[in-house]
Structure 1
Amino acid sequence: MKPRVVQHSVDTEAFRNGIHILTATLLVVAILTSVGLPVAQAVLNLVLLAAFAVVYISGSIYVETWPRPAAYLWLIILSIIWVADTMVTPAAIYLVFALFFLYLYVLDIGVGSVFVVVATLISVAVQIPKGVTFGGVMGPAVSALVTVAIFFAFRALARMNAELMETRSQLAATERDAGMIAERQRIAHEIHDTVAQGLSSIQMLLYAADRDLDSAEGKGAEGSAAGAAADSAGIDKARERIELARTTAADNLHEARAMIAALQPAALADASLEGALERMARNFASTSSFQVEVDSEGEAVALPMKVEAALLRIAQGAVGNVVKHAGATRARITLTYGVDEVRMDVVDNGEGFDVAAVESRPAGLGHIGLAAMSRRAEELGGKVIIESAPGSGTAVSVSMPLANNVD
């Protein structure tokens, strides 16, 4: 038998908490009515209310994952206790208001509505021995209608909220895609206006130089003084065009390097990864009260630019977290070069934290930096492992494969 699983959300959690508060309030009111009852009747009322509370609390924790028959049984037991208590004191009838919400929340909307109708009829029927009044009929009936209306309104608002959240996510994705497209178009225009135009000019200059050489060879074959002069002039013209092509190629190479530099972190433009990390460490040390050491293990090799950029950004994020949250006095960044991968470890002696608790928070509540580090590594096939515990510092380890990240 498959369990009935209720999808958790902020809306669902709020609705469930509302049912808990309503039930607790109605139980308190029913308990207070024991004051005016005879002793035996008051004791029986308290016993039944205590039983109702125990069954409610024990079931409300697990009912969302129970098989459907178990959920039915739980509601039936609560209903039986409620009916028994209405025989002891009329005030117990108010508990039906909480049961209405439980029927609709736990069961399917159709079955839940049937339970609501049955409970309403029971609320009226238990009044028959003492006489049914207009208020005795309208009270449960209006309560049932109000409960159903609130439930349907809540479901509609929850659905609208979910749709708005989905729309917002789609808009964010669209804006992100639009930004990527705009950036690609900008780079495409840069390439067209520099590299492509330069290559086109080089091609035209070499074609013209080749034509000049052919013309010079043809005129030189005539053997006359004029032909020799034309031959020399053609060769000089070809050399001039070739030199211009060489200059254009050099300019083009400079433009291409400038574009590449614009796409990589500035710290890596004029330094190695280790040098960029040391510069970053000095900057943090000069603006904070703790020291950052940079070390390397293994034979240093030239890494692909995108790997260097990702490692530098991850290191900046990790050390930034140390500055803001760790309360550390020291941190160490270690680069380890392997045959197929490079690993970077950022370790501090700070206060540490509960990794699972932070990662379980909704996005935007304390772990945007951690998520960004993991995302950067995953984009290049790497992974980030964070080890920490309160009072024992933090270690951030990121490994990057090199085989699939060749520039």
Structure 2
Amino acid sequence: MDSSLESHVEGIEPNTQGTHDALTRAKNRMKNTASATLTNIAAGDVNTYDSQPGAAAYRRAMTVLTVFLLVAALADATRLGRNDAIIAVVFSALFAFAYAMAVTRADDSLWLKLTWLAALTIVWVLMLPVVQVSVYLVFPLFFLYLRVLPDYRGMIAVLGATAVAILSYRSHLTYGAVMGPGVSALVVIGIHLAFQALWRGAREREALIAELIETRSQLAETERAAGIAAERQRIAHEIHDTLAQGLSSIQMLLRVSEQAINKSSMTEDEKIAPLKHIGIARQTAADNLQEARAMIAALQPAALSKTSLEGALLRVAESFVGPDYTITVDGDERQLPMKVEAALLRIGQGAMGNVAKHASATRCAVTLTYSPGEVRLDVVDNGAGFDPAAVEDRPAGLGHIGVNAMRQRAAELGGTVELESAPGQGTAVSVAIPIPEEN
């Protein structure tokens, strides 16, 4: 398992630390979300106000109450003289119209909403001397004040309307005339504050639930990655303990058979054929063993679990005999995703193996370049070279990795492979894989 996966696994082994951090983030986010919602409401965003839990029912209740009070005002107007009754009907109609505009025009600007509120308040004040029961219309006014101005400004407006309602009883001011509007104002303000506390809690719970769902998905992905790494490790161990060990045993048996033939009483001519077949079998076993080791490196790069990608390439270079390999790193070395490191190691191992077996080179320069947006691996030798067009479509076989196989492996990660060579001029293999920059 490489170090990038180890860091993921370390993050989920206890699980408590990751969950604690997620909860901390959730608390901060839900506070910000709740604060933003209440800020929008305080700024006169009626749509945000009406979308809160219980706000729509509260608005409907106030509308029903307003209709009832207007009907009561019209009923009271029947006891008045003709002129006063007409004035009462006109004021009731104007109040109903202004109330409807104040309630339904949620998309208007704050100043336009305040204009409708001011018009509604003026109509109500003018109704008070004409229709005595209209004093109770202060309830829907309380609601509208706190709906458009749900902070201290709305509370000041409520207190102002309360004072007007009390003063309307100036001709027969009593203790009940003061307590009625005063208690009503306190009840409405209390309901408003209770709704705000409810909304704040609802927003915080929504943010917490969203964050916990996101955290659960992240933990599931981390556990999945850890499971994949464990399965890759298991398969790598199986290949090592079965296929690789079996091929090593075959090589040893063939070597013993070769020694037995050389020590036998067979003539030199009789030894040529069996020794040739044994040599081919040994080479085939060696090539397959190398491929098995390459698969192990791709599944679970043993070198990457102990050192960096540079160290892994050094260990790969040490396993080849022939060219003088040099490993160079340019840029700021950093930890790459496991699949990227495994792909680079696999491609680099194949390219260096091809140099050792087919290039007849004396030197091979391997350069690993870390750039902000990508990582590049260049393998350049001074060997005999070849015609790329002649071998580009050659499939991956024993002892080498075909160019198409390299390109396919890089393409799976969004990368590219470039090959430059000519007879007598060496070979250069360059693979580039994009790496998203961390935010």
**TM-score, scaled relative to structure 1:** 0.51
Provide the residue aligned with 2:199 in structure 1. 158
Which protein, 1 or 2, shows the higher relative CO under an 8 Å CA cutoff with sep ≥ 6? 2
Decide whether the 8 Å contact of 1:212 with 1:235 is kept in 2.
no
Q: Which residue of 81, 99, 103 maps to 2:145? A: 103
Give SS of 1:88's match: coil
Provide the residue aligned with 2:45 in structure 1. 5
Is 1:44 matched up with 2:84? no
Is 1:147 matched up with 2:173? no
Q: Aligned partner of 2:246: which letter? A: L
Determine which structure has more spread, i.e. the larger CA radius of gyration: 2
Q: Which residue of 92, 100, 110 maps to 1:68? A: 110
Provide the residue aligned with 1:28 in structure 2. 71
Provide the residue aligned with 2:411 in structure 1. none
Could you tell me how far apart the structure 2 residues matched to 1:82 and 1:117 are? 15
CA displacement 1:146-169 (0-9 Å, x = unmatched): 000000001111111122222222
Provide the residue aligned with 1:92 in structure 2. 134
Give SS of 2:129's match: helix
1:215 Cα deviation (Å)?
Answer: 5.4
Identify unmatched segments of 5+ residues in structure 1: 257-407
Aligned pairs (5 A) from 1:208-223: 208-214=249-255, 217=258, 219=259, 223=263
Provide the residue aligned with 1:204 in structure 2. 245
**TM-score, scaled relative to structure 2:** 0.47
Distance 1:200 1:43, change over 3 A: farther
Distance 1:215 1:161, change over 3 A: same
Give SS of 1:65's match: coil
1:125 Cα deviation (Å)?
Answer: 1.3
Decide whether the 8 Å contact of 2:129 with 2:168 is kept in 1.
yes
Distance 1:202 1:9, change over 3 A: farther
Give SS of 2:45's match: coil
CA displacement 1:106-157 (0-9 Å, x = unmatched): 01411111111111111111211x2211111111110110000000001111
Could you tell me how far apart the structure 2 residues matched to 1:197 and 1:25 are? 83
Could you tell me how far apart the structure 2 residues matched to 1:174 and 1:34 are? 64
Give SS of 1:105's match: helix
1:5 Cα deviation (Å)?
Answer: 2.9
1:196 Cα deviation (Å)?
Answer: 5.4
Could you tell me how far apart the structure 2 residues matched to 1:17 and 1:169 are? 30
Q: Tell me the C-alpha RMSD between the 2 structures.
A: 4.0
Distance 1:197 1:9, change over 3 A: farther
Identify unmatched segments of 5+ residues in structure 2: 1-39, 300-439
Could you tell me how far apart the structure 2 residues matched to 1:46 and 1:74 are? 20
Could you tell me how far apart the structure 2 residues matched to 1:50 and 1:100 are? 19
1:222 Cα deviation (Å)?
Answer: 5.6
Could you tell me how far apart the structure 1 residues matched to 2:214 and 2:116 are? 44
Could you tell me how far apart the structure 1 residues matched to 2:253 and 2:57 are? 84
Aligned pairs (5 A) from 1:229-378: none
Distance 1:97 1:216, change over 3 A: same
Q: Aligned partner of 1:201: which letter? A: T
Provide the residue aligned with 1:114 in structure 2. 156
Could you tell me how far apart the structure 2 residues matched to 1:81 and 1:20 are? 17
